[in-house]
Chains A and B, each alone.
Chain A
Amino acid sequence: MNKPIRNLSVFCMVLFLLLLANATFLQYWQADTLSSLSAHPDNRRIRDLQFSRERGAILVDGKAIAQSVKSKDRYDYQREYPQGREYAQITGYFSRDYGEGGIEATQDAILSGSDSRLFVRRVIDLVGNAETRGGNVSLTINAKAQDAAYNGLRKLGNNVQGAVVAIEPSTGKILAMVSNPGYDPNVLASHDFAAAGKAKEKLQQAKLQPMLNRAIGLRLPPGSTFKVVTTSAALKAGRTPSSKVPGGRSLDLPLTTKNLQNENGESCGGDKITLTRALEVSCNVAYGWLGLKLGQDKLRDEAEDYGFNKRWFTDLDDDTNRQATSVFPSDLDKPQTALSAIGQFDVAATPLQMATVVAGVANHGTVMKPYLVDEVQSPDLEPLDKTEPQTLTKDAISPADAAELTDMMVDVVDKGTGTTAQIPGMKVAGKTGTAQSAPNRPPYAWFVSFAPADDPKVAVAVLVQDAGVDRDEISGSGLAAPIAKAVMEAVAGQ
């Protein structure tokens, strides 16, 4: 019986070798994949580890808006957001069971310390037997502008739906970004996971979508604020601020029985008015006519120069929010072109897009790409990487045309529809907008502006989607402009 026993021994040896090889495969070859959160987000061991680690801070003007503080429970650190609601849409949240959002998500590698730029740091920590620490992320946000934007929106009511974006025209730095209603990320970061889970569920089901970052994710008809783009196209096509355009009561739209009316049904101050006057009073008839004259291609080209129909902002891409592409539609017939020229029909823009448009005008026609992460730093605040400003479009309009458009927009604030944005001792350029998305719901109030007009330091877009006020009280000038004014004062008044 010994021969079978010897064969059997070989067989058993093969079985054990298989076990050894398989264990090696699992614990050596596969280990990295299995332990990577991106491949296996449900790996609680890794999540727990990251959750417990000292994570870097998110800084605004050197002050932390997200930080890890020592914790006494079974995790070593607790993530804390000192001004949770005000910055929620930017910082995002850091939870154990629901992943991350906002900057917490997009800058996770730096914040958690796994980024390659922190490699040397990690080796030093390893040798010194110190815990891995995350690097810091410093944002472009200007705390005063953010405060002004946040307080301005909240003044309209805690449940007002709206957003504010402020940009530094010369660089594209985002100086303020607020979306309301918001949420408190501290609740999601809580170590009371049951409570965090309930809170997350409630936030996701809430009717007002508090987790939606309206500044980048909500796309609505920009209404009259889009006339800034139409004016750009007109100036580019050779018209001047003093060119005459029709300003009557209504414009006969080709192919339809409908006429295009002005907002109040009145004329814009004569059958023939200047382009400056048309912008000042936001004359729909004039701009509808301009749209027909320019044609859809010129309008679309101009809109795309300002960033429409493209996605270029990824600093906040996470599971729930990402930049919605602002749209200038294609294949328009004539009436649709006329409506599009005044920011209606299927034209849709995010507040970030409209801020980018006016920032481009403010920056002498060159559109800078907006960005939010200014600098990444080592745990000891040494700079690792600073974001270089990037041009989105060089000369969306020429500097000369930009100067003319600026003057026209200054007139809007000085004596037109945007007087509520006036700042004593400072020239402000702006444009109001009141847009309709559906006949049966209240219109949206927009305001876009920049200041000082002669040396622009800040460009702002304000959207008030629904403030819960009566229909006839809704206007860009009444609701949105005062917020823009406060933000501009906060930046340019410094």
Chain B
Amino acid sequence: MSESAFMGFVHRRRRGAELFLLVLSLVVGVGAYACVGIGTEGKVPTDIIRYGGWLTLLIVACHVTIRLTAPYADPVLLPVVSALNGLGLAMIHRIDHARNTDYASSQLLWMTLGVVLFIGVLWLLRDHRRLQAYTYTSGLAAIVLLLLPLVPGVGREVLGARIWIQVGGLSFQPGEVAKLLLVVAFAGYLVVHRDALALAGRHVLFVDLPRGRDLGPILVMWLISLGVLVFQNDLGSSLLFFGLFLVMLYVATERPGWLVVGTAMFIGGAYAGYLAVAHVRVRVEGWLDPFGHASAAFQLIQGMYGMAWGGLVGRGLGEGSPYLTPLSWSDFILPSFGEELGLTGVMAIILLYALIVERALRTALVCRDAFGKLLAVGLGVVFALQVFVVIGGVTRLIPLTGLTTPFLSAGGSSLVANWAIIALLLRVSDHARRPPPEMLAAESDDADATQVVSLR
């Protein structure tokens, strides 16, 4: 982990660039909102000033917070998130208009909550390494959250998946928050135990397999994931949690052997799930031959029709019929974009997600402490996997699973959790890009060594 190449390089703050990109992102978000009005009613929505103003206020608040609390943070993340969130709001509003629902206002409310949390995280958490103290707390909390939907009276089953809790009138998907807590727990755990886990065991072909006695943690995680699959019928989250753990384990230990073991376990688990869980079988069959299972794969087929109908440039916002697809405002919001903004719009959205992941991984690369590295990798990978699983699912690349599309889908828990993830990423990246005081002192000490000291 020699960072000598970076030693002479000082990151600039680039807050001005961020502001410029933010203006662009607001043009996209508010512009999309205006287009929806023109497409559906033939005129710019009357509340465009109020809506645009509120959105601008939220984004400016984020920007100011970053300037004050994380001046060296990555300048691209917030604009990308702002653009995605704005697009999502516009599309939800567009579907609302066709279906006479009002998800957009609650989504704006949730976004506000998300922004408050974002600002809160940046203000209160001045050093991400403090999270390491909560390794087991957050791990425990994550497991409790995952178990909550199974508690009678609190849990609620929606569309075959038992991943919701309802308290009073508020419903919440605890899995969304759990994934954030899991990243913290994994990072904290692995940073301490990575040396032991990295010890090589048997050598098979070209890889060193891990030692049998170190298989404990991965087995536990595997069982938890299987539990999520079997008891909650949630294929997406199951895959997400296990994939996340596997990747973080690999990064922490630098042992590809873990990937071999993990992939084998995953395939075994997935096959067992396929055999044991009817819900999974239905999804796989609908994926292999959607038109042969027209009623089970109705959603998928409708989404595909919508995307095909959108073609290269789309029907235009408000000019298509995305509302024909069930859940076109949440799980299937991407096909809605495909229909109205075309392949062009879908590619832009996928690239925006890719940018978030790229920024997260870049942060991990330049980060000087192992915990921060793992945190950034974990957050980036959670994002990449989630985007892949949900977009791949609705475009029939892989079997359909119920995950939300980050920042686009209507859904409070997901939105709030993702804003918190971005806040954490910015915190780590601020730390990573900030010129280290040691550099000024021109100490020849290894960066790693100083950090190990600071951990204990």
Contacts and interface: CB of A to CB of B under 8 A. Distances in A.
Interface string B346-386: 11001101100110010011000010011001001100100
A280 B10 CA distance: 114
Contacts of B304: 26, 30, 34
Given A12-B384, A44-B321, A45-B306, A20 B347 contact: yes
Nearest to A44: B324
Which secondary structure characterizes the binding site on chain B?
A: helix
A26 B343 CA distance: 9
A22 B364 CA distance: 29
Given A19-B391, A35-B305, A46-B309, A2 B365 contact: yes
Interface stretch (B75-83, B86-94, B245-253, B431-439): B245-253
Contacts of B301: 42
Interface residues of B, number: 50
Given A27-B342, A34-B304, A35-B309, A16 B354 contact: yes
A83 interface: no
Contact of B353 (A1, A16, A30, A40): A16
Contacts of B350: 16, 19-20, 23
Interface string B304-322: 1111111110000000110
A22 B397 contact: yes
A71 interface: no
A345 to B, nearest CB: 45
29 contacts: A1-B377, A3-B254, A6-B365, A8-B251, A12-B357, A12-B380, A18-B392, A18-B397, A19-B350, A22-B395, A23-B350, A24-B343, A26-B307, A26-B338, A27-B308, A27-B312, A27-B338, A27-B342, A27-B343, A30-B304, A31-B307, A31-B311, A32-B308, A35-B305, A43-B305, A45-B305, A45-B339, A46-B305, A48-B321
A379 to B, nearest CB: 24
A97 to B, nearest CB: 13
A181 B320 CA distance: 41
B380 A34 contact: no
B341 to A, nearest CB: 11
Identify the interface centre among B306, B309, B311: most chain A CB within 10 Å of its CB.
B309
A5 B377 contact: yes
B358 A45 contact: no
Nearest to B249: A4
A33 B365 CA distance: 45
A15 B251 contact: no
The 6 residue pairs across chains A and B that have the minimum distance between CB atoms? A34-B308, A27-B343, A31-B308, A22-B397, A4-B251, A16-B354
B129 interface: no
Given A5-B364, A5-B373, A28 B254 contact: no
Nearest to B308: A34
A48 B323 CA distance: 13
Given A19-B350, A23-B338, A30-B308, A4 B395 contact: no
Contacts of A44: 305, 321, 324
A1 B308 contact: no
Nearest to B303: A26
Contacts of B342: 27
B193 to A, nearest CB: 14
A158 interface: no
A31 B392 CA distance: 17
Given A5-B377, A8-B381, 11 more contacts: A4-B251, A5-B361, A16-B384, A20-B351, A23-B307, A26-B395, A28-B311, A40-B291, A43-B309, A45-B305, A48-B321
B3 to A, nearest CB: 9
Contacts of A23: 307, 338, 343, 346-347, 350, 391, 395
